[in-house]
A and B are shown apart, each in its own frame.
Chain A
Amino acid sequence: MTSLPVTQSKVNYTAWPDEAGHFGPYGGKFVPETLMPALDELEEVYLKAKHDKEFQAELDHLLRTFVGRPTPLTYARRLTEYFGGPRIYIKREDLAHTGAHKINNALGQALLMKRKMQKTRIVAETGAGQHGVATATAAAMLGIECVVYMGTVDMARQEPNVYRMRLLGAEVRGVDSGSKTLKDAINEAIRDWVTNVRNTHYLLGSALGPHPYPTIVRDFQSVIGREALRQMLDPETGPGRLPDAIVACVGGGSNAIGVFHPFLEYEHVRLIGVEAGGRGIEGGEHAARFADPKLGRLGVLQGTKSYVLQDEDGQIALTHSISAGLDYASVGPEHAWLRDLGRTEYTYATDDEALEGVRLLSRLEGIIPALESAHAVAHLVKLAPQMSKDEIILVNLSGRGDKDLGTIMKELGAL
């Protein structure tokens, strides 16, 4: 095995959250009292499982034999030549079972419930449908009842995933309130959880929500970064050294925090999150929480304190993104904190830039990315020209694009 490089980090970036679930001024638990005991229980159970060798061994086994981990690291030769700059490597979460990174967390939490909690039923929300499919998959494999809430706008634009969930035995409930997208699906999942908390686990799909969810989801997704770190350092599977920059798309922030986290201590590795710029920042039709000083302010949404797109009266703004999975008004609290610490940076890609990312990766590398992941690819167009030939970029490709073909066909038209 390759030995890890020595770090020179002055800050221990893994010191958060504190006991109450705060990442600096972010995070915490903002939920109705009915759920507080369930959150306490979840935290206790999770901490035990984290140090339980048997549990970790079973999860590890399932990640290898069911999910197909480790996912490969691919050298993007033609994309590298196209830009003529830094070498580009791709972490292939699109090759994980069900086609996205979401399965890492879904399986982890489902197994946690099955082995460690007295609960028999799972509820989940989904935006792109990838988390819903991953949850339905884990539930089917472990034999757990599963209900998935999904906004009706998202059901229309991610139709294949709705059918997949039903095929997997999950009940999909359409949500018609508010913007009929991810945020509203989370509200409805939380209402179900409040009502059925005694027998139901809420399987939250991103590094969001009340403590301890941001930590649990981050830990289950960190398998991405741990593998990537090993694969980069090993000359057999990668360049034999650390990358100079890592790029990932940021919806709630789970794939990004998963790939970033094991690299935090290597301060010279730039960690870049790409939000959904939608139709551009000025018009407000986007989901770029960090990029719009007018709408993106500190606030509390769905259990956690973080940057939230909202109006002056604290009402949550309607967001827009071509990708359902990035179409959300808030962002994981740990991202907000790492940004404050200066360790991570955030930018955005518009709908059009993401579509260009889909085209580039499909034609040059033979990989059709999910629209979410295409935002990370799109940022290469800006980033690569700023870097030199002897530098290296790692892109986390969070998912594959099959689910998006309907949207892509509508947007790109006849080819």
Chain B
Amino acid sequence: MTGLERIEAVFRRCRAEGRAAFMPYHAMGYPDRQKTLQIIRTLSEIGADLFEIGIPHSDPLADGPTIQTATYTALMQGTTVKDCLAMVRELRAMGVAQPFCAMSYYNPIFAYGVERFVEDAAAAGVDGLIVPDLPPEEAGELEAACRQAGLATIYLLAPTSTEERIRYVASHCTGFIYLVSVTGITGARSELPPDLAEFVARVRRHTDLPLAVGFGIANGAQAAAVARIAEGVIVGSALVKAAGGEDGLARVAALGRELAHGAHHPRANGAS
């Protein structure tokens, strides 16, 4: 099975089970290498359906303070692109079976060599790529390599995207589409934006692909609210924040359970 097919299978299963996919993000190498492996394994055992694994970059211009700090910490400990792929291999060897979408800014991939990166990532066990500063206009080489290797190419859409861009970007996505919930950068927020349902509906008019919503989701109730309107619930900053500090692993596990429950039981939590 190709990476893309593995991702498609996850969304098919979720649909059959009447739930959304829980899609945690983790910044690779944070708080350190060992804990990264533990965190992802723990999340894989308590309901994660697909992982976004963040490759650290020195200039994360779409990220808020939480992920900036986490990726900076990872870099300071010497985490390289190669290390991130090695961690993926190790996680596969540990039995973590969920699809992995590598999330990286473009320059580390470009410096590695686009084709070589895609080949090495696929060989390590990566299933799809998300590159937030690479719009489809500039992604010809990456898309060709991903097609060759069977990896999904996932682009982002934002509330500011016009109808024309929604059509254009959607036509370049495979696997799912990443909907940025807010006009802004990553970071946990106390409220979901009021126009989220409308935004999701606007995208849905142009595509049959599964839609995953991310940016700002921080608790189970929000996860359930997103699960009622979308196929995937992406959580980054809230989990990364929980991962720092002494009892990081326990806190990630507790929050992960709450989020998974929300994503998997959209009608619970007093929903109509």
Contact = CB atoms under 8 A, between A and B. Distances in A.
A300 interface: yes
B106 A30 contact: yes
A315 B138 contact: no
B165 A194 contact: no
Contacts of B197: none
B111 interface: yes
Given A37-B165, A195-B184, A198-B160, A313 B59 contact: no
A387 interface: no
A191 B57 CA distance: 15
Given A300-B107, A315-B58, A315-B108, A31 B133 contact: yes
A33 B58 contact: no
Given A33-B155, A38-B160, A197 B183 contact: yes
A408 interface: no
B117 to A, nearest CB: 10
Contacts of B180: 32-34
Interface in B155-182: 155-162, 165, 169, 180
Contacts of B161: 33, 36-37
Given A177-B68, A197-B183, A34 B135 contact: no
A198 B161 CA distance: 12
Contacts of B106: 30, 300
Interface string A31-51: 111111110000000000000
A32 B162 CA distance: 14
B201 interface: no
A28 interface: yes
B133 A300 contact: yes
Interface in B98-115: 106-112
B138 A194 contact: no
A316 interface: yes
A183 interface: yes
Q: Is the interface of A mostly helix, strand, loop or mixed?
A: mixed
B133 A187 contact: no
A308 interface: yes
B110 A300 contact: yes
Given A191-B185, A302-B59, A313-B81, A30 B134 contact: yes
Contact of A314 (B109, B134, B183): B109
B64 interface: yes
B111 A190 contact: no
A33 B59 contact: no
A414 to B, nearest CB: 40
B61 interface: yes
B81 A32 contact: no
Interface residues of B, number: 39
B133 A198 contact: no
A53 B169 CA distance: 36
A190 B61 contact: yes
B62 interface: yes
Contacts of A197: 160, 183
Contacts of B58: 178, 315-316
Contact of B107 (A32, A35, A177, A301): A301
A314 B81 contact: yes
Nearest to A313: B80
A339 interface: no
B132 interface: yes
Nearest to A317: B58
Contacts of B62: 32, 191, 194
Contacts of A31: 133, 135
B132 A32 contact: yes
A187 B162 CA distance: 25
A319 to B, nearest CB: 12
Nearest to B80: A313
A97 interface: no
B183 to A, nearest CB: 6
B111 A28 contact: no
A33 B183 CA distance: 10
B75 interface: yes
Given A33-B169, A37-B160, A195-B183, A314 B108 contact: yes
Contact of B137 (A29, A35, A300, A310): A29
B8 to A, nearest CB: 22
A299 B184 contact: no
A198 B58 CA distance: 27
Contact of B162 (A30, A37, A198, A310): A37
A312 interface: yes
A309 to B, nearest CB: 11
Contacts of B68: 177
Given A29-B137, A34-B183, 4 more contacts: A28-B137, A35-B160, A301-B59, A302-B61
29 contacts: A20-B137, A29-B138, A30-B133, A30-B135, A32-B156, A32-B158, A33-B156, A33-B157, A33-B158, A33-B160, A33-B180, A34-B159, A36-B135, A178-B58, A187-B61, A191-B62, A198-B160, A198-B183, A299-B107, A299-B110, A301-B59, A302-B61, A313-B108, A313-B112, A314-B81, A314-B107, A314-B112, A315-B57, A316-B59
9 A-B pairs with the lowest CB-CB distances in the bound complex, closest first? A314-B111, A314-B108, A34-B158, A195-B184, A315-B58, A314-B107, A33-B156, A32-B62, A316-B58
